[in-house]
Amino acid sequence: MTAETGRRPMRADARRNYEKLVAAATESFLANGPDASLDDIAKRAGVGPGTLYRHFPNREALLDAVCVRWADSVAADAAPLLEAADPTEALNAWLVRLVAHVSEFKGLAAALLLSSDRKHDTAWVLHHTSDELVERAKAAGGIRADVTTSELMQLTSGISYACGHSKQAGKPTSTPERLIGLIMDGVRTR
């Protein structure tokens, strides 16, 4: 039994099926939204519906597994920025990466990003990382003291939405880097 879960470790074939299901669910949720067909996800993973339901008793459990995997990816991406020598530049880089993460996970990310009362690993990673970088930049005197993490995350979410819709409509758009740069120009102290 594992200490973390109180359950036996997964057999190798069960672990492979779990991984295939999470990968297939990620692709399907990204393509079709959170209401994607669970049967189609099982087919895409090359397993039967029974295997899917043994690992994930309901849609929420599967969505949670996808979001936890995403949270791990975001945390790994953010880790070097939390140690960067220049906190203001680290914040700038994080906001650009945040746009990319939110764009990648479309509606799933937007729902997590904007619902601050949802207690989920992904939302926690996004908010915690953003808050830590904002506080470091403030402490270094790089950004204004009145700027809040929530404001920057709302602006970042708006940039992700605007860039995504402009691209879909085939309209020219500024890059996320440029738009984040404009925001940072507005919040910098120097």
Among 80, 76, 73, smallest CA distance to 105 is for 73
Residues paired with residue 143 on neighbouring β-strands, in sequence order: 188
101-128 tens-digit pLDDT: 877 776 565 545 444 444 466 677 788 8
CB 165 within 8 A of CB 142: no
User: Could you tell me which residues come within 8 angstroms of residue 138 by beta carbon, excluding any fewer than 6 positions away?
Assistant: 144, 145, 147
Domains of the chain: 12-57 (1.10.10.60), 65-187 (1.10.357.10)
What CA–CA distance (Å, rounded) separates 110 from 152?
Answer: 14
Q: Which amino acid is at 19?
A: E
What is the model's pLDDT at position 118? Answer: 40
CA distances from 5 to 2, 67, 132 (A): 6, 18, 29
Q: Coil, strand, or helix at residue 51?
A: helix
Q: Is the dihedral of CA 109, 111, 115, 121 positive or negative?
A: negative
What is the model's pLDDT at position 53? Answer: 95
Helix axis angle for 12-32 and 59-78, nearest 10°, is 90
What CA–CA distance (Å, rounded) separates 177 from 18?
Answer: 36
What CA–CA distance (Å, rounded) separates 190 from 185?
Answer: 9
> pLDDT at residue 98 above 50?
yes
Look at 99 and 87; give whichever has higher pLDDT.
87
55-85 tens-digit pLDDT: 999 988 898 888 878 878 888 888 999 999 9
127-173 tens-digit pLDDT: 888 999 999 999 999 999 999 999 998 999 889 888 877 666 667 67
Angle value at C-alpha 138, between 190 and 144, nearest 5 degrees: 50
Neighbours of 16 (CB within 10 A): 14
